[in-house]
Structure 1
Amino acid sequence: MENSPMDLLPGVGPVLEKFSNVKRIAVLRGGGLGDLIYTYPALHALKRAYPEATITLLGTPVHRAVVATTEGPVDLVELLPVARGVHDGPRNGERFDDDAEDVAAQEAFFEAMQAREFDLGVQMHGGGRFSNPFLLRLGAKHTVGTCTKDAEPLERTLDYVYYQNEPDRWMEVAGLAGAPAIIPPPLRPGPDHQQNIAGLRDRRRTSLVVVHPGATDPRRRWPASYFAEAAAGVAREGAQVLVVGDRAEKALAQEVTELAVRLLPEAHREAVRSVAGELDIGDLAALLDEASVMLASDSGPRHLAQALGTPTVGIFWVGNVLNAGPRGRSLHRIHMSWVTSCPRCGADVTQVGWTAPHCGHDDTLIEGIAVADVVQDVLDLTATSLLLRGR
């Protein structure tokens, strides 16, 4: 498959010589929805560089659901066994529960994967302390990935420094495998899911704004009352607002919805409703594809909206902007909190990951972001979105 000049991007790192005779590629990526979306530009680059190869993602149930319900570069998904630093099992507070590891399940997994005889193993999961030994047990002919100073090296490695844009990081890893950076196509939801969400759209409203108030880390969550005020603000301007979330976020979504409705005059109260817990991942993708704008904290659904090409307004802590913030501002706006210490105990929150333990407090770090500024960006991007879609 030939690369056209419009498809290629200047690399964020060197593009090394391709490996020869690559027919089977395994990519290791645990974590949640956003963790998978980070890797999609790199996965597309690998698919372009090795068009005859099958890409098998070693991932999690949500990854399998995304691959099954959207069009993308992954051919197969194999679910990871519970393994320290790769795929967490049940938690005991912030500590990994050693009893969660199933050694027999791990051995069965490695035996099955070794039988695949992968030509290339790609590590796209953290700094490699746990993920590199895991990848090496696949027995792939060639390996590439990231590596901290205390991690077992692979055949070709990229130094892992925490504060780096995540899609760029994994694109740089793809370059180690000989895959030039490309402009990836947007994700596309399946037609069945588009039909599933058709009844949710209120065509009497001028636009659709999808709101996701959740985030895995509570410190990344904008207060529910702020989301409610923003939802009410855009509803007053004619937007339909649907609040989304998984089953664990139903109470939060309902709180946002009820607070927003109280702020609205009767004529606009039906414009805001929660559909949290009602959508599978394919339906969520279809809804976000239909949306004029998405408003969210730094979360997997916001990353999914961006991958679909939907404009987003994101509420970020400054450190997360470095890793996960969108790079352009035409379709994506960010509001950033510059807080660098825990509001309760003063601990430095910029030292993350393995470099410093969590202080134990989950107070939000982004409370200081003004609602009025966020609402204005949602309205501005709504106008842009409607213009682009010819509505």
Structure 2
Amino acid sequence: MILALRALGVGDLATAVPTLRGLRAAFPGETLALAAPAWLTPLIVAIGGIDRIVAAAELEPLDMAPAMPRIAVNLHGSGPESHQRLRVLRPGALWAFASAPAGHQDGPGWHDGEHEVRRWCRLVRYYGVPCDESDLDLAVPGADVPHGVTIVHPGAKSPARRWPPERFASVARRLHEAGHHVLVTGSPAEQQLCVRVSELAGLPGAVIRTGLGELAALVAAARLVICGDTGIAHLATAYRTPSVVLFGPVSPVLWGPPADRAYHQVIWHGTRSERGDLPGPVHPALLAVTEDEVLAAAEKAQDAAASQ
């Protein structure tokens, strides 16, 4: 068995897709297991080639994981905690970044300024596994969703990455006036924010509640996605849906869509990348983004998609 650890969120899973597919191709006769949160199952299925899902929460022991896998692959972090979570399973080999605190030297060095997709591909390449960084597409989950909508997604994991709801509302209203069918999406914890944005936009019926599979299908069928630096941006990349992604503390060089796709527009006014989980108020780089900029970028994204 090959066991990969990636017990994080939507965007984290999406950026590991090329690496997971590289592992699948390199070990066609082995069971490939992925330790990840169970709620990500619809996206794990959409990757294809994962034989077993091991329910795992971030930073929790891997109680459900099988002992003594042939290879344990740490796609979770630089160590030492994630290295140790896999070591207790007594794998035949641990593929991970070198970590002196974990006592693991057999691995490449960690680079802070590296794009997340490239990072994990580089790790498995070190161990001889070919990896295609452009292999980001996902299968579309079977779900009955409206087609051709424009998604406005105001939420993000940390307050520092949330553009003000008033500005999202202004963009939603102006897109609606331009003929877009606007829907506002968010996680269950973000429903109050979604309602506020929809009401400020004068679109009180625009909030749509979905599970993860339905959200993925909605993005795949959408006309446009407007969002911050969060998981749904990676779904837009996975389904090649035109998007505008607003970055704050974290540079798009680290987490942005492929630079050669003009139908994914990014806006960032930062000068250096910081932690993405900052607990404070909206990051100044994000506050510098204007509604007019977002609308202009939306037009560019749609024009680029139309010319494909």
TM over 0.5: yes
Structure 1 range deviating more: 124-133 or 45-54: 45-54
How many residue pairs are counted as aligned between the two chains? 305
Q: Does the 8 Å contact 2:227/2:233 carry over to 1?
A: yes
Question: Counterparts of 1:309 and 1:212 in 2: how far apart (Å)?
Answer: 17
Opposite residue 322 of structure 1, the aligned amino acid is V
Unmatched segments (≥5 aa) in structure 1: 1-23, 89-105, 202-206, 262-268, 341-348
SS, match of residue 107 in structure 2: strand
How far, CA to CA, are the matches of 1:107 and 1:144 in structure 2?
Answer: 17
- Aligned pairs for 1:211-222 within 5 A: 211-222=152-163
- Specify the structure having the higher radius of gyration (Cα): 1
Check the 8 A contact 1:148/1:161 in 2, yes or no: no
* Aligned match of 2:119: 169
Give the Å deviation of 1:77.
Answer: 0.9
How large is the RMSD of aligned CA atoms in angstroms? 2.4
User: Are residue 287 (structure 1) and residue 218 (structure 2) matched?
Assistant: yes
1:52 aligns with 2:33: no
SS, match of residue 236 in structure 2: helix
1:113 aligned residue (63, 66, 71)? 66
CA contact (8 A) 1:292 1:385 kept: no
Partner SS state of residue 187, structure 1? coil
| CA deviations over 1:101-160 (Å, ceiling 9, x no partner) | xxxxx4854xx511xx42111001111110011111222212211234433316x31222
1:273 to 206, 221, 226: 206
- Amino acid in the other structure paired with 2:18: P
Tell me the equivalent position of 1:66.
Answer: 43
Aligned letter for 2:119? R
Contact kept in structure 1, 2:162 and 2:282, CA below 8 Å: no
1:179 to 115, 129, 134: 129
CA distance in 2 between counterparts of 1:108 and 1:47 reads 24
Q: How far 1:243 sits from its partner (Å)?
A: 0.9
The answer to whether the 8 A contact 1:294-1:311 is kept is yes
TM-aligned CA deviation for residue 50 of structure 1: 2.0
2:81 aligns with 130
What are the within-5 Å matches in structure 2 for residues 77-116 of structure 1? 77-80=53-56, 86-87=58-59, 106=61, 108-109=63-64, 113-114=66-67
Give the AA of the match of 1:295: I
**Secondary structure of the equivalent of 2:247?**
strand
TM-score by length of 1: 0.72
CA distance in 1: counterparts of 2:270 and 2:9, whole angstroms: 25
Aligned to 2:231: 300
- 1:311 deviates by 2.1
Aligned equivalents of 2:42, 2:213: Cα separation in 1: 7
After TM superposition, give the deviation of residue 307 of structure 1 in Å. 1.3
Q: Residue in 2 aligned with 1:75?
A: 51
The 2-side partners of 1:53 and 1:35 are apart by 24
Instruction: Tell me if the contact between 1:318 and 1:337 (Cα under 8 Å) persists in the aligned partners.
Output: no
Instruction: Answer whether contact 1:234 1:379 (CA < 8 A) is retained.
Output: no
* Unpaired runs of at least 5, structure 2: none
Aligned position for 1:232: 173
Amino acid at match of 1:113: P
The superposition leaves residues 371-391 of structure 1 with CA deviations (integer Å, 9 ceiling, x where unpaired) of 111111112222333454xxx
Shift of 1:318: 5.3
Distance 1:309 1:151 in 2: 39
More strand by share: 1
Q: Match of 2:84, as an amino acid?
A: P
1:327: which partner in 2? 258
What does the per-residue CA deviation read over 1:200-236, in whole Å, with 9 as the maximum and x for residues that have no partner? 34xxxxx521111111011011111111111122222
Name the TM-score, length of structure 2 as normaliser: 0.90
Q: Deviations over 1:292-315 (max 9, x none)?
A: 221110001111221122122100
Separation of aligned partners in 1, 2:191 and 2:79: 35
Distance 1:31 1:386 in 2: 34
Counterpart amino acid of 1:168?
R
